[in-house]
Amino acid sequence: MSRKRSTRRWLFVALGAAVMGGAGTYQFVWSSLSAAVGARIPASQTALGTVFTLFVVAQTLVQLPAGSIRDRYGPRKLLFAAAALMFAGYAGLGVAPTLPVVYASYAIGGLGAGIAYTVAVNTPVKWFDEYRGLATGIVSMAYGGVSFVVIPLVRGAIDAAFTRTLLLLGVAVGIVGLFAAGLLRDPSVGPSSPESSTTTDSSETGPSETDGSLRGSDDADDAVGWRTAARTWQFWVFYGVMVVVNGVGLMLIGQSVGFTTGLGLSPATATTVASIIALADGGGLLVLAGLSDRIGEERTAGASLVLCGVALAGAVASGARGYASLFVAFVGAAAFFRSPVFAIFPSLVGRYYGEARSSENYAAIYTAKVPGGVFGGTVTGVLIATVGWSTAFYIGAVLVVGAGIGALSLRPVQTDASATSDASEWT
């Protein structure tokens, strides 16, 4: 019986979404925490910005070893570690007496968030053959969607009860991680799994499920690691697209208020834009990732990014002319069409390079968030200072259209003898 018949797979999607939402709070709630941290511990805006930079680096770079471990031994121990690290990050921040402790605490939380992210986003790849885009979209949407609910609660409590609020937040994300660690499993097929005799009856769950010990897999003999994947041109298309999507996305998210007021629009419009970006980003993940199951993943990813670039250019043009409502609509559309690649690419990477090592390979591609973050922060600041808001965002629009064309060029990897000089590396 194929794994897609398992009656538990949607439960695993729900668990993945819960873990993803907890990890996402570190990225999206920081903007509500930074001022309170600065009030407790004297720090410049540059120093506070470094806290977030350290988080991004830690969250991104931990995913490659975490993905490799998950592919080999399952998600359980990783989720226990993620729960402990995410709790420690918020608890440490809540009692931090100095700036170095703040740095260390948020970086530790970033390690936990990165582990949780890579486990969660690859769970649908492990369990789904059909509806994979929809399932990955649900998990990915939670990354920002949960924070949309959490942010007002944190903002309402952080000034009056800083330490207690962060301890409660740490306990909440830790409990979610522990709960998922106790239930989440990866599918295992084939007689080699040492736990096959202890798994549930296949008539209930389809394939046997396990949380460790070098699981067997239908595609284990065809899967390749990231070093071999990096020899293919598709890997570098994935990587380049992710650099642009992260860079322009952080440019739009991080500079949304300055972008709006820089074009001469009102502060009220800027507030509306910030809310629209959060909602549209999550909506695009769910709607277009689900649509990719019908019209194809490469086609959906490419077309959505081209439309993102067009919408971003439309936002610049309408905002410069003072059309506030049209500007908000175009910004919302740009956010809507930018986000689906985060749900589509994990599935594509699994299909191109084998699902048995999909977490490892996608984590390698996800390291593109580091150069993307440099573009979205430092480079964007230089562009705005040099050429102005409009030209800077027009450049971003052109880059996104180019990324969309790149995504449209993607084709499955040929794994015949000519694809590698050492056929054993494809096993």
| Angstrom distance (rounded) from CA 397 to CA 197 | 55
Confidence band for 405, pLDDT divided at 50, 70 and 90: very high
Residues 302-328: pLDDT tens digits? Answer: 999 999 999 999 999 999 999 999 999
DSSP letter for 188, please: E
The answer to whether residue 53 scores a pLDDT higher than 70 is yes
The answer to whether residue 54 scores a pLDDT higher than 80 is yes
The answer to whether residue 223 scores a pLDDT higher than 90 is no
Quick one: pLDDT at residue 8?
A: 83
Query: Cβ neighbours of residue 132 under 8 Å, at least 6 residues apart?
Result: 124, 125, 293, 347
The answer to whether residue 114 scores a pLDDT higher than 80 is yes
Higher pLDDT, 203 or 146: 146
Q: DSSP letters of 55-84?
A: HHHHHHHTHHHHHHHHHHH-SHHHHHHHHH
Mean pLDDT of 34-48: 82
Tell me what percent of the residues of the chain surpass a pLDDT of 90. Answer: 42
Quick one: pLDDT at residue 415?
A: 55
Is 268 exposed, middle or buried, given 0-12, 13-18 or 19+ CB atoms closer than 10 A?
exposed
Tell me what percent of the residues of the chain surpass a pLDDT of 70. Answer: 87
Mean pLDDT of 12-25: 92
Cα–Cα nearest to 206, from 425, 5, 427: 5
Is 331 within 8 Å of 276 (Cβ atoms)? Answer: yes
Mean pLDDT of 387-405: 95
The answer to whether residue 424 scores a pLDDT higher than 80 is no
Query: Cβ neighbours of residue 303 under 8 Å, at least 6 residues apart?
Result: 404, 408
Mean pLDDT of 117-144: 85
Cα–Cα nearest to 83, from 190, 173, 187: 173
| Angstrom distance (rounded) from CA 245 to CA 400 | 7
Q: What is the mean pLDDT of the chain?
A: 83
Quick one: pLDDT at residue 278?
A: 74
Mean pLDDT of 67-80: 92
Mean pLDDT of 193-206: 37
| Angstrom distance (rounded) from CA 400 to CA 416 | 33
Quick one: pLDDT at residue 417?
A: 38
DSSP letter for 210, please: E
Quick one: pLDDT at residue 5?
A: 56
| Angstrom distance (rounded) from CA 68 to CA 98 | 35
**Residue at token pair 């668990």:** 15
Confidence band for 6, pLDDT divided at 50, 70 and 90: low
| Angstrom distance (rounded) from CA 62 to CA 133 | 25
The answer to whether residue 149 scores a pLDDT higher than 90 is no
Q: Highest mean pLDDT: which of 168-172, 215-219, 253-257, 372-376?
A: 168-172
Higher pLDDT, 124 or 46: 124
The sign of the CA dihedral 117, 148, 165, 184 is: negative
Residues 260-284: pLDDT tens digits? Answer: 888 899 888 887 887 788 778 878 8
Cα–Cα nearest to 229, from 340, 353, 129: 353
The answer to whether residue 58 scores a pLDDT higher than 80 is yes
Residues in the chain: 427
